[in-house]
A and B are shown apart, each in its own frame.
Chain A
Amino acid sequence: MQRQFQGLLIVFVTLIASLCWGQALDRILIPQLENYELDIQSTYREYQKIYYEKKSSLAELHAFEDIISVYVSQILEIYETLSLSGFGDLEVPRDIAARALVYRALIFLEKAPLNLEYYEKACYDYYRALAMFDNVDNIPALFKRLPSPILVGAHQFNRLIDVIDHKGSNLYAFSKVNLNLRNFKITTNLDIDGIEFIRMDCSLDKKKYTYYSAENRIKEAFKNVLMNDDQSSTFLALPEGSYFIRPKTRNSSSRYIYLSAIYVRANQQHNYIVEPLVDWFIMYESPSTKKPRFLDSDLKNLSDVDGNGKHQLKNRAFNNSDKSLEMEKFVALSQIVNSALKKVDSNLIFNLKDPWIRNKFSNTAAKIIYNHVESISYYNCWSLWMLSWIIAKEITQEFSPDTVVPTELIKLVYHVLKEL
């Protein structure tokens, strides 16, 4: 009995201690994070002043970059501490960490016209920020309202995505390539230092973008996988084009380069798997495309795929014409929009209290979503969140022009796209 009581006491004390520890972390670290974010914001403002007023003082600009980098690394360290310590809800620290990285990316973008490799540097920060939301359903910090508005030039912005849309078109010239190296053995015969990463000829307008960091990151990932005899991963920011890795000992006309070829389209995410293959290795994409399924019949038809480039729909058991099928899909999509409206705060979208307006809204949203989903852009979007942003902008333009895209509308579109 006494032993049981002691056991319970230990569990209770541990629980209280962990709660206190969590609260202590909460009380100390979150305000610290918020302070750092304010510092970053003011540094960014100062940086812009110096950049536009005294463009020649590169040393000063560099000093500001260093300062902001110190803040960013402090924030990332705290965020890492919190996530490793099992701190409950990571939403606030994650948002701050992502915003810090985007601020630094914006600073790099300011300087990029003077120093072209800064476009690439900005991409790495921007991608890291986006990656923080890869495995969570929370809306990325990019689309959320900022704690305080941000001044960029003469404009004031309340969301980072608006700033990126205003200033960051160069970021969209790049693509994120995730590399996942696996199945390599410590004994695999590869001369890591003897490989080079090369871009095939590309158009002149794309040539201004650099990919200096890619080769070193690839070599690092290879060294890690050979050292750990396990898996290793990295990501690259690459401008649109075709790339390959080749051993310095083989010439570029060797067919082997096709095994390590990477094909990059701008503003997309590509996931590549790297595995050993005989005396070299192969890099292949991990496909993630799914055809949207509007109707139950779409699922049923999975098992009788026809092939040969034939029209799948025309071979279906029910003899619907293309138009009525389109209508059927559209109705199904409207229903999905209506049920998604219950998942978000619809009062924050537009004034949808009137049933007629609400109905008109869901039809408009369904029509625009349908057009996107049925177009090539659906299979070439960065992520569902990014596509949600593009669609939400279009819906706003159609339904309530010249108003700010409501965050709840972005969430609504995301829920609909996830349903498909």
Chain B
Amino acid sequence: MKHFGKTILSVILLAINFNITTLMAQEINFNNCWKSHYYTTLLDTMLKVMSLSIEANYKQHDFIQTFGCAYEEDDIEQNSIRAVYRAIIQSIRNRKVSLRDDLDRILLSKPPRPDNLAREYSIYVNIPASPEPKPARYEIKILDLEAVPTIESDKAVWTRIVTRYAYKEDFNIAPVAELTPSEFVEVMEESQAILKALERKKFKKLKKVLLIDNESITFPKSIEELKFGDSITLFDEINTEKTFTGIYLGKGIFTSETPDNGIIICKFGEERLYHLRIDTNSFRRTSPYYAELDYQAPESILQCLFLKFCHEKPVKLPALGSIR
């Protein structure tokens, strides 16, 4: 009876603690968007887990280890699928082979979740060979899959997987595998530095890291095609030859230079508050990695950056033809 009472008490305390933590976590820290008393960043979590080395028995049997994580969706199952997908794709890149199966469909039909037992998958890949690529069976084992609340999302997920060719003969003819644990985490690290610099409005640093002044690799045609780090050109409504550089961050939010208001972080449409217009013919991509790895800046950080400086903005559009 005493034990039962204790259990109830601890459950209540846990529930209160969870509620308080959740409520506190929802409050935005405008002093530092990347800091919270309760959560750490997913990057820190990943850097910690990526120090785990592959178990000896897997290493002996030609497995390689890769990592994945996801925070974009408001759903643990969807994030689990993304995280596992990223880890598998990393192993495919490491092995310099290409996918033969529809990996998305396979993962959706048997979704990996932290609380279920879907831990092993088998897919087919193409090993580069002459004259035709050789199909090979590929084994995937999920060793870790955990949901972890982070600053980016309270439904973030990370995973550790090991993969190998099912048959030794395929392993023998395949290119030698690299051992990069996760390029996505590298991109996360770089983007975190970019977003932190942006929080201090260090626009020049942003332009330098994102190679904005370099020659474009691709030209996104519409805002639907825009990805983190793509550059946009804004021009002055009154003197259209005057142009300014903007950088897209995600969810319709971008940062830009302005004629008289310095660096701004605003959503599409707000540029008109400063007599600026976006030239939709001028979208450019100079850093392709974000698009290739489907990187999206965390919504919570975007929201924090947007709200942090929003009170500095004018509340209404300037009158047409007004002189600054």
Interface residues of A (CB under 8 A from B): 185, 187-188, 200, 202, 241-242, 255-256, 258-259, 261-265, 270, 272-273, 275-280, 282-291, 293, 302-303, 305-314, 374, 376-377, 379-380
Nearest opposing residue in chain A for B213, CB measure:
A307
In the assembled complex, which residues on chain B have CB atoms less than 8 Å from the CB atom of A259?
267, 303, 306-307
Q: B252 at interface (Cβ–Cβ under 8 A)? A: yes
Shortest Cβ distance from B288 into chain A, in angstroms? 16
How far does the Cβ of A34 sit from chain B's closest Cβ, in whole Å? Answer: 40
Contact present for A285 and B269 (CB under 8 Å): yes
Set of chain B residues within 8 Å of A280, measured between Cβ atoms: 303
Residue B259 interfacial (CB < 8 Å)? yes
Q: A258-B313, A305-B284, A379-B277 are in contact. Are A284 and B269 (CB under 8 A)?
A: yes
Distance between B129 CB and nearest chain A CB, rounded to angstroms? 39
Residues of A within 8 A of B251 (CB): 275, 277, 282, 284
Across the interface, do B279 and A270 meet the contact criterion of CB distance under 8 Å?
no
6 contacting pairs across A/B (C-beta < 8 A): A200-B316, A263-B316, A265-B317, A282-B303, A284-B268, A311-B242
How many Å lie between the Cα of A309 and that of B233 in the bound state? 10
- Most chain B CB within 10 A, of A188, A264, A280, A305, is at A305
C-alpha spacing A307/B315, complex, angstroms: 26
Docked pose: A310 CA to B235 CA in angstroms: 10
Contact check, A307 vs B245: say whether CB atoms are below 8 A apart: yes
Complex Cα distance, B215 from A327, in Å, reads 30
Q: Are B310 and A200 in contact (CB under 8 A)?
A: no
Check B252–A263 contact: CB distance below 8 A.
Answer: no
A287 x B270 contact (CB < 8 A): no
- In the complex, whether B299 has a CB less than 8 A from a CB of chain A is yes
* With A258-B306, A275-B251, A303-B216 as contacts: A287 and B278 at CB distance below 8 Å: yes
Q: Who on chain B is nearest to A286 by CB?
A: B223
| B-side contacts of A305, CB under 8 Å | 231, 233, 243, 245, 282, 284
User: How distant is the Cα of A272 from the Cα of B242 in the complex, in angstroms?
Assistant: 26
* B225 interface residue (CB < 8 Å to A): no
The contact of A284 among B252, B273, B315, by CB within 8 Å, is B252
Contact of A289 with B243 in the complex, beta carbons under 8 Å: no
How many A-B pairs with Cβ below 8 Å?
137
Q: Are A290 and B281 touching (Cβ within 8 A)?
A: yes
CB pair A376–B243 under 8 Å, yes or no, is no
Question: With contacts A265-B320, A284-B267, A290-B280 known, is A307 near B244, CB below 8 A?
Answer: yes
In the complex, A246→B278 CA distance in Å?
A: 27
Contact between chains at B310 and A287 (CB < 8 Å): no
Does B291 sit at the interface, judged by CB under 8 A? no
Identify 4 new A-B residue pairs, CB closer than 8 A, beyond the known A259-B306, A307-B257, A374-B240.
A263-B270, A265-B320, A277-B299, A305-B231
| Least Cβ–Cβ distance between B253 and chain A, in angstroms | 7
A289–B278 touching, CB < 8 Å: yes
- Does B316 contact A309, Cβ atoms closer than 8 Å? no
Chain B positions 230 through 249: 1 when the CB is less than 8 Å from some CB of chain A, otherwise 0: 01010111101111110000
Give bound CA distance, A380 to B178, whole Å.
Answer: 54
CB closest residue in chain B, given A307: B245
A242 touches B277 (CB 8 A): no
Q: Are B307 and A376 in contact (CB under 8 A)?
A: no
A256 touches B320 (CB 8 A): no
Q: Which residues of A contact B299 (CB under 8 A)?
A: 277-278
Instruction: Count B-side interface residues using an 8 Å CB cutoff.
Output: 52
> Chain B residues with Cβ under 8 A from A272's Cβ?
269
Q: How far is the CA of A170 from the CA of B55 in the complex (A)?
A: 75
The docked-state distance in angstroms from the alpha carbon of A58 to that of B108 is 62
A291–B157 alpha-carbon span in the complex (Å): 44
Contacts of A282 in B (CB 8 A): 251-253, 267, 303, 306
Q: Is B5 an interface residue (CB 8 A)?
A: no
Nearest 10 pairs of A and B residues by beta carbon: A285-B269, A284-B252, A307-B245, A258-B310, A284-B267, A287-B278, A284-B268, A255-B307, A289-B277, A242-B316
Q: Do A376 and B320 touch across chains, with their CB atoms under 8 A apart?
A: yes
A188 CA to B74 CA in the complex, in Å? Answer: 9
Tell me the complex Cα distance, A309–B86, Å: 40
State whether the Cβ of B37 lies closer than 8 Å to any Cβ in chain A.
no
Query: Shortest CB–CB separation between residue B210 and chain A, in angstroms?
Result: 13
Instruction: Judge if B302 is at the interface, Cβ distance under 8 Å.
Output: yes
Contact with A along B299-324 (1 / 0, CB 8 A): 11011001100110101110011000
Bitwise, B168-211 to A at CB < 8 A (1) or not (0) is: 00000000000000000000000000000000000000000000
Interface residue from A270, A277, A312 paired with B241 (Cβ < 8 Å): A312
- Once bound together, how far apart are the Cα atoms of A275 and B245, in whole Å? 25
* B252, B273, B315: residue with the most chain A Cβ atoms closer than 10 Å: B252
Give CA–CA (A265, B223) in the complex, Å: 22
Q: Please give, as numbers and ranges, the residues of chain A lying within 8 Å of B280 by CB-CB distance.
A: 287-290
Contact A278 B259 (CB under 8 A): no
User: Roughly how many angstroms separate A291 CA and B276 CA in the complex, as a whole number?
Assistant: 12
Residue of B whose beta carbon sits closest to that of A254: B307
B272 CB–A CB distance under 8 Å: yes
Q: A380: which B residues are within 8 A, CB to CB? A: 237, 320
In Å, the complex CA distance between A291 and B280 comes to: 8
Residue of B whose beta carbon sits closest to that of A283: B267
Contact A263 B269 (CB under 8 A): yes
**Does chain A have a CB within 8 A of B45?**
no
CB distance from B57 to the nearest CB of A (A): 41
In the complex, the chain A residue whose C-beta lies closest to that of B223 is: A286
Chain A's nearest CB lies how many Å from the CB of B184? 21
| A258, closest chain B residue (CB) | B310
Residues of B13-44 contacting chain A, CB below 8 A: 26
Residue ID in chain A nearest B252 by CB atoms: A284
Contact of A313 among B241, B278, B313 (CB under 8 A): B241
Contact B307 A302 (CB under 8 A): no
Neighbouring A residues of B317 by C-beta, 8 Å: 242, 263-265
B303 near A291 (CB under 8 angstroms)? no
A309 to B315 CA separation, bound complex (whole angstroms): 23
With A259-B307, A284-B268, A305-B284 as contacts: A273 and B252 at CB distance below 8 Å: yes
Residue of B nearest to A272 (CB): B269
A379–B236 alpha-carbon span in the complex (Å): 11
The reply to whether B268 and A311 contact each other, CB–CB distance below 8 Å, is no
Q: How far is the CB of B267 from chain A (nearest CB, A)?
A: 4
- Cβ distance B271 to chain A, nearest Cβ, rounded Å: 8
Contact of A307 (CB < 8 Å), options: B26, B223, B243: B243
Contacts of B307 in A (CB 8 A): 255-256, 258-259
